[in-house]
Amino acid sequence: MSIATVLTKPEIPELDPDRFIDIDLFGQDIKANAPTYFAEWATRPPFYAMVQGHVHVVICRHHQVQWALRTHEIISAVPHPGWGTDLFDYFNGLPLVVDFDPPEHSRMRRLMQPGFAPNRVAKLKPLIDSMVDELANVMAQKRHFNMVTDFAGPLMYQILLGGVFEFKSDDWPLFINLSNALELVATVPPGAPKPPEYLAAFNAVYEFCGKLIEERRIDPRDDLVGSVIAAHDDEGKISIEELFSTLVQLFTAGLGTVPATSSNAVLRLLRHPDQLELLRKDPSLLNIALEECMRVDCLGNFRHRFVVKEHVIDGTPIYPGMVAHLSLGAANYDPDKYPDPTRFDITRDPRDILTFGFGPHLCPGNSLARMMTRAIVSRLIFGFPNLRLTDPDEVIVYGGMPTERFPTNVNLSVD
Ligand code: HEM
| Residue (of 70, 53, 94, 40) closest to 303 by Cα position | 70
Atom of ligand 1 nearest to the CA of 303: 16
Per 3-state DSSP, the chain is made up of helix, strand and coil in percentages (nearest 5) of: 50, 10, 40
**pLDDT over 50 (residue 231):** yes
Identify which of 75, 121, 363 to mutate to test ligand 1's pocket (most ligand atoms within 8 A of the CB): 363
pLDDT of 230 reads 80
Quick check: bond before 103 cis, omega within 30? yes
Tell me how many degrees the CA angle 93-98-103 measures, rounded to the nearest 5.
110
- Mean pLDDT of all residues in 144-172: 91
For 234, other C-beta atoms within 10 Å of its C-beta total 10
Separation of CA 269 and ligand 1 centre (Å):
24
Task: Enumerate residues 6+ apart whose C-beta is below 8 A from 133.
Answer: 379
Residue closest by Cα to atom 12 of ligand 1: 357
Q: If you ran DSSP here, which 8-state letter would residue 116 be given?
A: G
* Tens digit of each residue's pLDDT (9 = 90 or more) over 79-105: 887 787 777 777 777 778 889 999 989
* Distance, CA of 228 to CA of 178 (rounded, Å): 21
Instruction: For the full predicted model, state whether its pTM sits above 0.75.
Output: yes
- CATH superfamily membership of 20-413: Cytochrome P450 (1.10.630.10)
Atom of ligand 1 nearest to the CA of 97: 40
Contact 212, 225 (CB under 8 A): yes
Q: What is the 3-state secondary structure (H, E, C) of 9-44?
A: CCCCCCCCHHHECCCCCCCHHHHHCHHHHHHHHCCC
Q: List residues near ligand 1 (CB under 6 A).
A: 97-98, 109, 249-250, 253-254, 257-258, 261, 299-300, 303, 328, 355-357, 361, 363-365, 368-369, 373
Helix or strand holding residue 8 (H, E): none
Residue closest by Cα to atom 39 of ligand 1: 361
Contact 290, 369 (CB under 8 A): no
* Tens digit of each residue's pLDDT (9 = 90 or more) over 65-75: 999 999 999 99
pLDDT of 7 reads 62
Separation of CA 48 and ligand 1 centre (Å):
26
Average pLDDT, rounded, for the chain? 90
Separation of CA 380 and ligand 1 centre (Å):
24
Residue closest by Cα to atom 20 of ligand 1: 363
Residue closest by Cα to atom 31 of ligand 1: 365
* Tens digit of each residue's pLDDT (9 = 90 or more) over 299-308: 989 999 999 9
- Mean pLDDT of all residues in 192-212: 88
Q: How confident is the model at residue 235 (pLDDT cuts 50, 70, 90)?
A: low
Atom of ligand 1 nearest to the CA of 251: 30
* Tens digit of each residue's pLDDT (9 = 90 or more) over 304-360: 999 999 999 999 999 999 999 999 999 999 999 999 999 999 999 999 999 999 999
Q: How confident is the model at residue 252 (pLDDT cuts 50, 70, 90)?
A: confident
Separation of CA 396 and ligand 1 centre (Å):
24
2-18: string of b/e by CB count within 10 Å (b at 16+)? Answer: ebeeebebeebeebeee
Residue closest by Cα to atom 14 of ligand 1: 361
**pLDDT over 60 (residue 4):** no
**pLDDT over 90 (residue 5):** no
Q: Exposed, middle or buried by CB within 10 Å (0-12, 13-18, 19+), for 169? A: exposed
Q: How confident is the model at residue 3 (pLDDT cuts 50, 70, 90)?
A: very low
Amino acid at 130: S
pLDDT of 6 reads 52
Separation of CA 50 and ligand 1 centre (Å):
27
pLDDT of 241 reads 77
Tell me how many degrees the CA angle 31-401-257 measures, rounded to the nearest 5.
85
- Mean pLDDT of all residues in 111-116: 77
Separation of CA 249 and ligand 1 centre (Å):
9
For 118, other C-beta atoms within 10 Å of its C-beta total 9
